[in-house]
């Protein structure tokens, strides 16, 4: 069974990253969660990222605020797909420092990047990556996307009733 690792630079990132965890758990994907700081625990980061594929992890979601080196450093050490979540933090320049430090990776070290605080989309993307080779999971993703469509259509019906009566 494939696993997704969700790592973050500090506990302050957890409220944002919880959205990825919740989405993955809803889709019944095994999730491993940890704090791995690029700056305060670089040895832990190197060990985690270089060994993750040996532990059955298939995709890594890494979220960090401020300078946000975590996703890129994980990608530097790991052969797995890495999805970076820029987190708006207390020491952030309105989140742009996080976005750019994850987005502007050098050639050969890709990090898929979602929107600022976009951990839910990171969870969806991780599920879609896994679903591309897992027919049962793909069915769940299709159902999930259908539920999004239904929610929009229900909202449209309510708006039409309210304003077009």
pLDDT recorded at residue 109: 97
pLDDT in tens, 83-106: 999 999 887 788 889 999 999 999
Is residue 40 annotated as involved in ligand binding? yes
CA-CA distance, 118 to 31, in Å (whole number)? Answer: 17
pLDDT in tens, 43-85: 999 999 999 999 999 999 999 988 889 999 999 999 999 999 9
pLDDT in tens, 110-149: 999 999 999 999 999 999 999 999 999 999 999 999 999 9
Mean pLDDT of 19-37: 97
DSSP track, the chain: --EEEEEESSGGGHHHHHHHHHHHHHTT-EEEEEE--TTT-HHHHHHHHHHGGGGTEEEEEEEEETT--HHHHHHHH-SS-EEEEEE--TTSSTTHHHHHHHH-PPTT---EE--TT-HHHHHHHHHHHHHTT-HHHHHHHHHHHHHHHHHHHHHHHHHHHHH--
Instruction: Tokens for 109, please give them.
Output: 């070290």
Q: Which of 66, 60, 78 is nearest to 9 (CA)?
A: 66
Q: Which of 23, 26, 47, 69 is nearest to 34 (CA)?
A: 47
């Amino acid at each position: 069974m494939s696993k997704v690792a969700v790592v973050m630079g500090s506990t302050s990132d957890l409220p944002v990253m919880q959205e990825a965890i919740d989405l993955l758990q809803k889709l019944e994907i095994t999730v491993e969660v940890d704090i791995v700081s690029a700056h305060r625990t670089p040895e832990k980061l190197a060990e985690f990222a270089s060994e993750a594929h040996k532990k059955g992890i298939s995709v890594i979601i890494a979220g960090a605020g401020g300078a946000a080196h975590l996703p890129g450093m994980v990608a530097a050490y790991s052969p797995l797909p890495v999805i970076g979540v820029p987190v708006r933090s207390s020491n952030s320049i309105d989140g742009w420092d996080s976005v750019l430090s994850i987005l502007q990776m050098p050639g050969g070290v890709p990090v898929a990047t979602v929107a600022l605080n976009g951990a839910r989309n990171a969870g969806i993307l991780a599920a879609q990556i896994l679903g591309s080779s897992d027919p049962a999971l793909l069915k769940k993703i299709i159902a999930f996307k259908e539920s999004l469509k239904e929610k929009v259509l229900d909202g449209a019906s309510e708006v039409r009733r309210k304003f077009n009566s």
